[in-house]
Amino acid sequence: MSRVTFEQLLEAGAHFGHLRRKWNPAMAPYIFMERNDIHIIDLHKTVAKIDEAAEALKKMAQNGKTVLFVATKKQAKEAVAELAQAASMPYVVERWPGGMLTNFPTIRKAVKKMDTIDKMTSDGTFDNLSKREKLQINRQRAKLETTLGSIASMKRLPSALFVIDVMKEHIAVREANRLGIPVFGIVDTNSDPSNIDYMIPANDDSTKAIEVILGAMVEAIKEGATERKIEKQDDENNEDAAPRRERRARTGGVRRERTKKEDSEAMNARMADKFQKETEDNE
């Protein structure tokens, strides 16, 4: 069963592409028809692509991988922030900092700068600064939080990117391509899908369409994370059970040896009694 139905996408307006004069010929296989000079996306293919992308994301989550969501356009910011948080994944909804991926060590230093400022506040160092220094540091902290706060938990490069508008986020896509990081993306009729590993043909300007598609992706990630947790718990239970089985085996072995020894001693005693009786009879 598909994660998203044709009707859901139709109601969300996911089928509306761009004006014909703005189209990218590479999107021709995903265009159903043209109406009033606007390309209409084939939603049957969209449904199939959603399932394909969702399955890939689920497997990533099962393996504990991180997916970075990227959407700096106004229509997508709120939905992406909310859904990415629900999946416990990092996201970028403000300006994409150049080098976010290709110069990741520098980005991590900036994140650590936020941690340092927070530590100054908690240990009392901040209280010893002048009013002007406090103001400067607070401004710096606020700026860093706006740009990098949503990726503070990302200790290493993500295993994949999910991009809402691949044309607008072309810098992020280019950086991911350069590093060999798989890119998932909602691709409209005016965009080039050639650099997207898992493309989903759909209207990337419709908030409702974005919510429907992204919701399916997040549910897949949650499923993968849950299965990973269950598998991990099963492994821990199996590890705990192994020593118990070994102890039972050792205890059983000792018990069997003791029983065997007792049986042997009893048999020897009976043989001795019989021999003694035969000797007495002969006398």
* Lookup: tokens for 34: 């043209």
The CA–CA distances, whole Å, from 20 to 5, 25, 39, 188, 203 equal 26, 10, 6, 12, 14
Q: Which residue has the higher pLDDT, 262 or 50?
A: 50
Partnered with residue 185 across adjacent β-strands are 163, 199
Q: Which of 40-44, 128-132, 215-219, 267-271 has the lowest mean pLDDT?
A: 267-271
Q: Which of 26-35, 204-213, 273-282 has the lowest mean pLDDT?
A: 273-282
Distance, CA of 163 to CA of 125 (rounded, Å): 40
Residue 269 — pLDDT band, cuts 50, 70, 90? low
* Lookup: tokens for 36: 């009033």
3-state secondary structure (DSSP) of residue 2: coil
Distance, CA of 75 to CA of 69 (rounded, Å): 15
Instruction: Report percent pLDDT > 70 for the chain.
Output: 84
Q: Please state the rounded mean pLDDT for residues 134-155.
A: 90
What angle do the packed helices 207-282 and 43-62 form, to 10 degrees? 40
Distance, CA of 48 to CA of 2 (rounded, Å): 8
* Lookup: tokens for 206: 């419709």
Domain boundaries, the chain: 6-101+157-233, 246-282
Structure confidence at residue 242 (pLDDT): 61
Going along the chain, which residue ranges are E strands? 16-19, 31-35, 38-41, 67-70, 91-92, 160-163, 183-187, 198-201
CATH of 6-101+157-233, one of 2.60.120.380, 3.40.50.10490, 3.30.565.10, 3.40.50.800: 3.40.50.10490
